[in-house]
């Protein structure tokens, strides 16, 4: 039986981490379409609702752009957003040294939650989404450890002011849930969403047996 043609996938993110994670499982987006949206939390917005809202808005921007600029109406669009929270308090993305320092001091010696929302738009207006919650425990950080980490610059633009795939891995004592979700994209859930909606990558086609 003939297999469907490979699908067009648009990643609504400019994050090199998310791109690398997708490539890790053999999925290479055809287009990268970062969505520039207002990421200000709404008043009294819960972290889970905030992550989900941002992922949906990013997906919507990329879908509209794909239709208007790429003439792609049947493409798959993948969007995600990662939020770090202490209780119900949403930690900011560290855009400055002072914000990163405040984040690390808040997370030091405490448990926190990393919530990553994934939204996939498929052909014929289909939409599927998942919210993945991971519990992370960080050791108590000394002033020297915080200063050295800040000097590394790894905190720049990171939710909660740290990147678990970098030097901050030495700070994390326990993870309950998806490691890849903390990096930026839960791979199992993302793969299930895409395959469940009929996405076929070029790698899937190459793995098919060719009849003699």
Residues forming a β-bridge with 50: none
Q: How many helices (H) and strands (E) does the chain have?
A: 7, 7
> Is 81 marked active-site?
yes
Residues 6+ positions from 172 with CB-CB distance below 8 Å = 136, 137, 138, 139, 164
Taken as a whole, the chain contains a residue count of 212
Of residues 30, 36, 38, 81, which has the active-site annotation? 81
Structure tokens that stand for 126 in this block: 């289909």
Question: Can you tell me the distance from the alpha carbon of 164 to that of 172, in angstroms, rounded to the nearest whole number?
Answer: 8
Tally Cβ neighbours within 10 Å of residue 29: 21
If phi > 0 it is left, if psi is from -120 to 50 it is alpha, else beta; for residue 157 that is left
Q: Could you tell me if 7 and 201 are in contact, meaning their C-beta atoms sit under 8 angstroms apart?
A: yes
Q: Residues 160-169, buried b or exposed e (16+ Cβ, 10 A)?
A: bbbbbbeebe
Active site residues: 81
């Amino acid at each position: 039986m003939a297999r469907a043609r490979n699908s067009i996938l648009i990643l609504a993110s400019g994050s090199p981490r998310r791109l690398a994670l997708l490539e890790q499982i053999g999925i290479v987006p055809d287009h990268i379409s970062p969505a520039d949206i207002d990421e200000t939390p709404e008043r009294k917005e819960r972290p889970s609702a905030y992550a989900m809202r941002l992922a949906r808005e990013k997906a919507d921007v990329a879908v509209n752009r794909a239709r208007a600029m790429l003439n792609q109406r049947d493409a798959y669009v993948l969007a995600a957003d990662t939020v770090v929270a202490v209780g119900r308090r949403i930690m900011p993305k560290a855009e400055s040294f002072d914000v990163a320092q405040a984040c690390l001091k808040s997370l030091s010696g405490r448990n926190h939650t990393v919530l990553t929302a994934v939204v996939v738009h498929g052909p014929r207006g289909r939409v599927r989404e998942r919210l993945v919650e991971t519990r992370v425990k960080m050791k108590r950080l000394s002033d020297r450890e915080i200063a050295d980490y800040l000097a590394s610059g790894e905190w720049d633009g990171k939710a909660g002011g740290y990147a678990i795939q970098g030097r901050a891995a030495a700070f994390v004592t326990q993870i309950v849930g998806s490691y890849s979700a903390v990096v930026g994209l839960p791979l199992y859930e993302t793969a299930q969403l895409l395959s469940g909606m009929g996405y076929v990558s070029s790698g899937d086609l190459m793995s098919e047996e060719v009849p003699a």
